[in-house]
Amino acid sequence: MTKLLPLLLVLGSCAISFAQDDDDSRSPRRVAVSQDGRFICAVNKDKNVRVWSSEKGTLLHKIEIDRPASCVAISAKGDILVAATIGSRATASIIHSNLYAWSIAGDKITLLWSAKQLGPSTSIALDPKGKWCATSSSYGTVNFYDLKTGDLKRKLLELGHGLVDLIVSSDGVRVLTAGDQLTVWEPDAKTFPEKALDFDAKVTVEDSKTYIKARNESWTTVMAIAPEEQWAVAFGSFESREGRADALVRVDLATGKKIQTLGKNMKGVTCLNVSTKGAFVAIGYDTSKVQILSVDGKTEPRLFDLGDFGAVRSLAFFDDGKRIVVVNQHGTKVEIFSTIDGKKLQELSLDR
């Protein structure tokens, strides 16, 4: 087990105490599968970040950090792991969280860098080309860090309070944020991410497209992007001719227009994921259920009851689309299920 010594953080004479993690617990990014399908990583409330071999299901790394982590991401090749912690209260009104990045080479795992950021972290996304990572917070900020050094390269402010999710398109030129509105940030593809990572190049509202108008009219809780497509799915409360309703919608990333509504009046949705080829959407519920929807509607929806698994907090498809890894509310269960019949294929051990 790799152990990272706890940090003692003090502002003036005010020692930091742990903040309640109610907002952090809503992060939909508690599990991730590397693009090549070899590794699974997950976090829970026991202050450990874990990495498993997806082929054998064996626990490869168990990394102890200073406080429970709220979200995690792994690079396409499985060689870099990034995790963010729940918040700690610095003052009565300010909360900080910590961000850690490790390099993975076989059995060896090495801390690359750590950083402190404002607000409880809610999501992490990595540049497909391995240049940067982006994080969102419930304070409405998005930070871009150099993935190799941890240098803060860009900060987007005033994106609206309560950001709960952030994803990056497979080509790395679009960053989507979800909170009280669903927004995609699109700096010029010829200069992004270099331009976005330059403090002198200011990203403004003019560089973004707001899909869902806006504050006090709608809110988005979770979303997912189709890795090989140019669309995303988002779940939230949307206005329609029939009034406000919880719905799952698919939107075009180029135009921002809604392509289709995949579901209406859906309750208890906690997380989303899209299969690699964009054929299926997986939906996690707080009632210990997972639903698999066919985007083209040619396959009947499949709803699986996971029994005593508990509320589904995060899930991720494997590359083949036939398996899915699911994490429960507190991260005490990490299990792999078939997307065909819902059968449990494997339960990953939290200890060696």
121-156: string of b/e by CB count within 10 Å (b at 16+)? bbbbbbbbeebbbbbbbbbbbbbbbbbeebeebbeb
Cα within 13 Å of Cα(259), Cβ side:
15
What the block records as the tokens of 228 is 């090989």
Instruction: Assign 25 to helix, strand or coil.
Output: helix
Give CA–CA dist 64/351, Å, rounded: 12
What integer pLDDT is reported at residue 329 of this predicted model? 83
Distance between CA 288 and CA 235 in Å, rounded?
A: 18
The position carrying tokens 């991401």 is 73
Cα separation values, 63 from 24, 43, 229, Å: 20, 10, 34
- Tell me, what's the pLDDT at 31? 92
Q: Is 42 exposed, middle or buried (0-12, 13-18, 19+ CB in 10 A)?
A: buried
E strands in 138-242: 142-146, 152-156, 165-168, 175-178, 182-185, 208-210, 219-225, 231-240
CA angle, residues 22, 284, 253, in degrees to nearest 5: 95
| Per-residue confidence (pLDDT) for residue 293, from 0 to 100 | 94
Rounded Cα distance between 125 and 134, Å, is 5
pLDDT per position in the chain (352 positions), as tens?
433 322 222 222 222 222 333 334 457 788 999 888 889 999 988 899 999 998 888 999 999 998 888 899 999 888 999 999 988 776 667 788 899 999 999 889 999 999 988 888 889 999 888 888 999 888 878 888 999 999 988 777 655 556 778 888 777 777 777 776 677 776 444 444 433 333 333 344 444 444 333 333 445 667 787 776 778 888 877 665 666 678 888 887 777 677 888 988 888 898 999 998 889 999 999 999 999 999 998 899 999 999 999 999 999 999 889 999 999 887 889 999 999 999 999 999 988 7
Rg over alpha carbons for the chain, rounded to the nearest Å, is 19
Please, are residues 70 and 42 in contact by the beta-carbon 8 Å criterion? no
Query: Which of 323, 343, 346 has its CA nearest to residue 335?
Result: 346
Instruction: Report domain extents, the chain.
Output: 2-18+26-347
CATH number, span 2-18+26-347? 2.130.10.10
pLDDT at 204: 41
Please report the pLDDT score of residue 129 as a whole number: 84
Locate 321 and state its tokens: 């689309």
Return d(Cα 198, Cα 132) in angstroms, integer: 12
With residue 3 as reference, give the H or E element that holds it. strand 2-3
Give 110's contacts (C-beta < 8 A, 6+ positions apart).
Answer: 102, 103
